[in-house]
Amino acid sequence: MSMNLKQFPDEFSEFLKLLEKHRLDYLLVGGWALGVYTVHSGSGELNLLVRISPDSVRSLQAALVEFGVEPLDPKTFSVPGNVYRVGRSANQLAIINQIPGIEFGTAWKRRNTLHMNNAQVHVISRDDLIDNLLATGSTKELADLEAMGA
């Protein structure tokens, strides 16, 4: 796996440590996940896919409050496809409850777990990332697939 660990901002590491503390099942997806398997692509946004369940929402609420941001609305977040964003565009967190082509429970079983900047990071598997990029199908995602050699 190829990600340069120094690229991972401290704020992201801090938030991921809180997710571990509060036992939230999440997967790193998007550009940072792509960076694990090839070259980081996209913005500085950290995209996290989380399981939709009452326990997950409670864990996420606790982590957000401890991180010092407004908690999300549980009813709104529980609607599949909704995204909760925290921060400014350069170092923004995007907490996602659904992505194309992926079922969380199956992807969770196939995840890779890395240690980056003193944080445990659960990353979507390469195969699931490929499935997600194929399901999304935009020109950018197809270019990302080519960069992955898929």
The predicted structure's pLDDT at residue 125:
95
User: Which residues make Cβ contacts (< 8 Å) with residue 58, sequence separation at least 6?
Assistant: none
The structure's pTM equals: 0.88
**Buried (b) or exposed (e) across 19-58, using 16+ Cβ within 10 A?**
beebebbbbbbbbbbbbbbbebbeebbbbbbbbeeeebbe
Q: What is the pLDDT of residues 106-145, one digit of tens each?
A: 999 999 998 877 778 999 999 999 899 888 877 776 676 7
The predicted structure's pLDDT at residue 39:
67
Structurally, what CATH architecture does the domain formed by 5-142 represent?
A: 2-Layer Sandwich (3.30)
Q: Which helix (H) or strand (E) holds 13?
A: helix 10-21
The predicted structure's pLDDT at residue 31:
83
Amino acid at 125: S
What's the CA gap between 18 and 30, in Å, rounded? 20
What's the CA gap between 53 and 101, in Å, rounded? 19
More confident position, 110 or 13:
110
Smallest Cα–Cα separation from 13: which of 121, 124, 122?
A: 121
The predicted structure's pLDDT at residue 141:
67
Give 5's pLDDT tier (boundaries 50, 70, 90).
very low
The predicted structure's pLDDT at residue 68:
94
Whether the pLDDT of residue 56 is over 80: the answer is yes
Whether the pLDDT of residue 12 is over 90: the answer is no
Q: What is the pLDDT of residues 68-104, one digit of tens each?
A: 998 888 888 888 888 999 887 677 899 999 999 999 9
